[in-house]
Structure 1
Amino acid sequence: MNNLRGLDLNLLLTLDALLSEQNVTRAAARLHLSQPSVSVQLAKLRESLGDPLLLPGPRGMRPTARAEALREPLRQALQALDHAIASPQPFDPGSAKITWRIAASDYSEYSVLLPALDALRKAAPACRLALQEVPSRRLSAAMEQDKLDLAIFTRTGAPPELRSRLLFKERYRLVCRHDHPDLQHAPTLAQFCQLEHVIVSPDGGGFFGNTDEALAAIGLSRKVVLSVPHFSFVCAVLTRTDMVALLPERLVQDNPALKIVDAPIEIDGFDKMMLWPERVHRDPAHQWLREFIASALKEE
């Protein structure tokens, strides 16, 4: 690269045109420049390369041996450079071979990725998904280090420096097994507090959450008897016991073994988002993936 220092790369376009046309007037027309401008640039090229490059001939100009040796390598180099900086080609999912690395909790896997998975496999059969659980505090670093391409996350706690798109708004519902003996009807607040509750604690071992905060604000508490790190296990627990849980509606709405009951207390839901780094924001393949996931949810 030392040979390029101090050389205006635009001069190489002029040299390519001159070597092709072997005529200053025609080269100027090809470059949309005036003839005097091309003559000035030819003088600069001669000085930079230490060679006259083009000499007067009977039918225009004829290249020197140095110019003749430059002709083909220069043409190939300019074509490669033009290709490198050209606008990216439209993404073709049918022929693409990409591994997308996505951070998602078990709930996000079920509610966001599962609805899109079958259609995604058909649309992009040679592409792969690598699903990971990544804490919110590590999302930005993982994406910055090119270890992660996309995250399915809640708005709360989402790193503000990441790009985002709202997928849907979720709400919590009181859930139990279909033939729960104490929940044939919606419970009163007192009955609700006496039920045995399961809580999802992603960080592990927690027995106090948003529901408990809301109850504490009115001087009440509930019986939380089981704390688990994943939503998927809660559903299995509810079908086999008399425990209950406040769960995101999308997780349980299609499960015939479970029943949704109106809770006597309102708990704020959450926004489910897609998050991604700036480095892939304009990448055609990544744009296609984001749009595909969002469209799959709209078609449910």
Structure 2
Amino acid sequence: MDTIKLDLNLLLTLEALLTEQNVTKAAARLHLSQPAVSAQLNRLREMFGDPLLIPARRGMTPTAKALDLLIPLRESLEKLRQTLYSHQDFYPERAHLTVTVACTDYIQAAVIMPLVLALRQKAPGVRIAVRNLDMAQSDQQLARGEVDLVFASRDSFHKQLHTRFLFDESYVLIGRRGHPALKANLKLEEFVQLEHVIVSPSGGSFTTPIDDALAAFGHQRNVVMSAASFLFLPEIVNKSDLVALIPRRLLQAHSGPLTVTELPWLAEQFDICLIWHERSHNHAGHRWIRELIVSMNA
């Protein structure tokens, strides 16, 4: 590297460019114009004597030099952020912050949408970026700073991550209004004979942990459809005689006419926790948002 002055803004731009691999997206992330980010990229290329990012079919591809820089750059900037933000007060009404969350479609409807509406009132400069939950990658995404918060079961993650319990969840059975077979005190033997639609996030499966539990007692339900999302289930059952088990809190996000049946004998439950990495633990803004989420889901 030559003697050109290296300033913090250039390092922040380099981090954004290597993360987004797209000048337009990096500019949006930094709240800068595209020409300004392009100019800073040219300065970075001159400083490091390397193109850093080269055009690709979609966006840009990091060079080997850029990939070598990425992890130490993120670690250094994160340590600096923690040093600065841990000693600052957070003023939500004038803050500018982007928080990336990973969660299921159900959490998007039941938790994230109310959160976004609350932020519009309390902290209009805070943006939420939602990514689909990938359980196999979430630990690494948190460590690399690609994701700030994960909503999932506590037992699914590394014990060194920070966790905060939000709520326990249970299932209810839904069907169209006037469904002839839905009634109070529905028995297990009647339940398995209904035509069910289930959710398979990975796609194509016709069994869930609930079916495994039923099989242990010698029962098998009649599953006729496997869907990819909980969010479509109310519409599906409203237009058919199919029924579906959905998380209870999802009912709060749906106002259409449904028959909702409690199943006291169905003990299947799961917990939802807020999970984050040490890298953002002391960030005043992230701390404020975590507390807001906890208070809204108590």
- Say whether the 8 Å CA contact 1:214–1:267 is kept in structure 2: no
Matches within 5 A, 1:1-300: 88-253=87-252, 255-263=255-263, 265-298=265-298
For the structure 1 residues 272 and 264, does the alpha-carbon distance in structure 2 shift closer, same or farther, using more than 3 Å as the test?
closer
Residue 125 (structure 1) shift = 0.8
Residue 264 (structure 1) shift = 6.7
Structure 2 residue matching 1:183: 3-state secondary structure: coil
For the structure 1 residues 190 and 128, does the alpha-carbon distance in structure 2 shift closer, same or farther, using more than 3 Å as the test?
same
Identity %: 37
- Say whether the 8 Å CA contact 1:176–1:238 is kept in structure 2: yes
For the structure 1 residues 94 and 85, does the alpha-carbon distance in structure 2 shift closer, same or farther, using more than 3 Å as the test?
closer
State the AA in 1 paired with 2:111.
Answer: V
User: CA separation in 1, counterparts of 2:264 and 2:217?
Assistant: 13
State the AA in 1 paired with 2:275.
Answer: L
**Tell me, which stretches of 5 or more residues in structure 2 are unaligned?**
1-82
State the AA in 2 paired with 1:229.
Answer: A
Residue 154 (structure 1) shift = 2.1
TM-score between the two structures when normalised by the length of structure 1: 0.67
User: CA separation in 2, counterparts of 1:227 and 1:148?
Assistant: 29
User: CA separation in 2, counterparts of 1:122 and 1:188?
Assistant: 46
TM-score between the two structures when normalised by the length of structure 2: 0.68
Structure 2 residue matching 1:179: 3-state secondary structure: coil
User: CA separation in 1, counterparts of 2:204 and 2:84?
Assistant: 52
User: CA separation in 1, counterparts of 2:277 and 2:160?
Assistant: 8
Describe the superposition over 1:7-52 as per-residue Cα deviations: whole angstroms up to 9, x where unpaired: xxxxxxxxxxxxxxxxxxxxxxxxxxxxxxxxxxxxxxxxxxxxxx
User: CA separation in 2, counterparts of 1:261 and 1:173?
Assistant: 6
User: CA separation in 2, counterparts of 1:255 and 1:86?
Assistant: 41
Residue 155 (structure 1) shift = 2.7
Describe the superposition over 1:181-229 as per-residue Cα deviations: whole angstroms up to 9, x where unpaired: 2114432222211110011111111111122122211212110011112
User: CA separation in 1, counterparts of 2:200 and 2:155?
Assistant: 16
The alignment's C-alpha RMSD in Å is: 2.0
Residue 263 (structure 1) shift = 2.7
**Tell me, which stretches of 5 or more residues in structure 1 are unaligned?**
1-83
Residue 120 (structure 1) shift = 1.2
Residue 265 (structure 1) shift = 3.7
- Say whether the 8 Å CA contact 1:108–1:153 is kept in structure 2: no
Structure 2 residue matching 1:118: 3-state secondary structure: helix
User: CA separation in 2, counterparts of 1:127 and 1:297?
Assistant: 19
Residue 123 (structure 1) shift = 1.1
Q: Provide runs of 4+ in structure 1 moved above 3 Å.
A: 84-87, 253-256
Describe the superposition over 1:130-159 as per-residue Cα deviations: whole angstroms up to 9, x where unpaired: 001031111111111111111111234233
User: CA separation in 1, counterparts of 2:85 and 2:230?
Assistant: 46
User: CA separation in 2, counterparts of 1:93 and 1:127?
Assistant: 8
State the AA in 1 paired with 2:262.
Answer: D
- Say whether the 8 Å CA contact 1:169–1:270 is kept in structure 2: yes
User: CA separation in 1, counterparts of 2:261 and 2:162?
Assistant: 36
